[in-house]
Structure 1
Amino acid sequence: MGKIVNTVLGPVPSGDLGVTLTNEALLSVLPGAQYAYDITLDRAAVFETLATKLRAFKQSGGEGVVDVTGQFAGRDLRLYEALSRATGVHLIASTGQGPEGMLGGYFLTPQTNPPTPWPAEKWADLFGAEVTDGMVVPRVERRGHAGVIATAVTAEGATPTDVELLRGSARAALATGVPVTFVAGADAVAELAVITQEDLSASRVAVSSPGSSAAKLAEQGAYVVLTETSEAVALAEAGHADRILLATGGAGQAFGHEVPEAAYDHLISAVRADLPGELADQILITNPATLLAVKED
Structure 2
Amino acid sequence: MSSTVHTVLGPVAADELGVVALHESLLSVVPGAEYAYDIEIDRADVFETIAAKLRAFKAAGGGTVVDSIGMFHGRDVRLYENLSRATGVHIVASTGMGPEEQLGGYFLTPQTNPPTPWPAEKFADLFGREVTEGMVVPRVERRGSAGFVTTTVTAGGPTLTDESLLRGVARTAIATGVPASIRFGADAVADLDVVLAEGVAAERVLVGGLDRRDAVGAPQAVAERGAYVGIDHVGSTDDAHLSDAERADLVAELAAAGHAARVILSSSATGAAFGHAGNDLPYETVLTSFAPLLEARGLTASDVRTIVIDNPRDLLAGR
Do these two structures clear the TM 0.5 threshold for a shared fold by scoring above it? yes
- SS of the residue 2:156 aligns to: coil
Aligned to 1:293: 317
Q: Could you tell me which of 205, 219, 225 is aligned with 1:220?
A: 225
Alpha-carbon distance, 1:3 to partner: 1.4
- Partners of 1:262 and 1:133 lie apart in 2 by 33
The answer to whether the Cα contact below 8 Å between 2:2 and 2:317 also exists between their aligned partners in 1 is: no
Matching residue within 299, 303, 308 for 1:279:
303
With normalisation by structure 2, the TM-score equals 0.89
Note the C-alpha offset of 1:111. 4.9
Farther off after superposition, 157-166 or 228-237 = 228-237
- Counterpart Cα distance in 1 of 2:120 and 2:291: 41
Once the two structures are overlaid, the 10-residue window that deviates more, 273-282 or 184-193, is 273-282
- Cα distance, 1:175 vs structure 2: 0.3
Counterpart position of 1:135: 135
Distance 1:182 1:259 in 2: 20
After TM superposition, the structure 1 stretch with the greater mean CA deviation from structure 2, 64-73 or 242-251, is: 242-251
**Where does 1:193-212 land on structure 2 (aligned, <5 Å)?**
193-210=193-210, 211-212=215-216
The range that moved more, 249-258 or 236-245, is: 249-258
SS of residue in 2 equivalent to 1:286: helix
2:269–2:283 Cα contact (<8 Å) kept: no
Identity of aligned residues (%): 57
* Pairs aligned (count): 295
Distance in 1, matches of 2:158 and 2:55, equals 38
Whether 1:260 and 2:279 are equivalent positions in the alignment is yes
Question: CA–CA distance in 1 between the matches of 2:120 and 2:278?
Answer: 30
* CA distance in 1 between partners of 2:293 and 2:92 (Å): 27
CA RMSD of aligned residues (A): 1.4
For residues 266-290 of structure 1, the C-alpha deviation after alignment (integer angstroms, 9 at most, x for no partner) is 3211243223311110011000110
Cα pair 1:271 1:280 within 8 Å, conserved: no
Matches for 1:175-190 after TM superposition, within 5 Å: 175-190=175-190
Contact 1:108–1:116, Cα closer than 8 Å, also in 2: no
SS in 1 for 2:311: helix
- Any idea what SS the aligned residue of 2:206 has? strand
Which consecutive unaligned segments of at least 5 residues does structure 1 have? none
CA distance in 2, matches of 1:202, 1:112: 32
How far off is 1:42 after superposition? 1.2
Unaligned runs of 5+ in 2: 235-243, 295-299
